Amino acid sequence: MTFNTPNGTYGISLPPAAELHARNEPTIATIREGGSTPGMQTLVLITRGKKSGLERESPVAYFPLSDESWLILASAGGATKHPSWYFNLAAHPDEARVVLAGEEFPVDAEELHGPEREHHWQEITAAAPGFAEYATRTDRTIPVIRLTGRAA
């Protein structure tokens, strides 16, 4: 499992972390309670902070591969840098968990590369063209990550 896609040199600016947290909190609560979000299918990704060591929760759009496997994109809307959760996954890949439909469970995380990444990127952007738009806002490659459920 390698998380080694570099940041870009340009892209959109993201709001401060406190603002993002406040904006995301209602979505996280809805998913934890078993609800869904309008538009994209969304899970809560739980990671351990790379620097702080604190548990972090992030709502992330997902694309199911099977009952036990999902793809997520570290798009950050086309920002210069990957989202913080990407670096948290890279630092603590064995501590990742997700919440789907109110159920929390551990997952293994793997960044996809080469033809496998390109195949899934094409499928995702065909189904959700907004992600292709995000890619035009930055010069970084948007990471595609496979999450696979594992026994607790």
Backbone φ and ψ for 24, nearest 5 degrees, come out as -85, -25
> How many percent of the chain have pLDDT more than 90?
76
Q: 1 pLDDT exceeds 60?
A: no
pLDDT of residue 15: 85
- Phi, psi of 120, rounded to the nearest 5 degrees: -70, -35
pTM of the model: 0.91
pLDDT tens figures, 76-98: 999 999 999 999 999 998 899 99
Tell me the pLDDT tens digit for each residue of 31-61. Answer: 999 988 888 999 999 999 999 999 999 999 9
In degrees and rounded to multiples of 5, residue 144 shows phi and psi of -110, 125
- Contact between 138 and 80 under an 8 Å Cβ cutoff? The reply is yes
DSSP string of 79-118? BSS--HHHHHHHH-GGG-EEEETTEEEEEEEEE--HHHHH
> Domain ranges in the chain?
17-149
- CATH fold for the domain made of 17-149: Pnp Oxidase; Chain A (2.30.110)
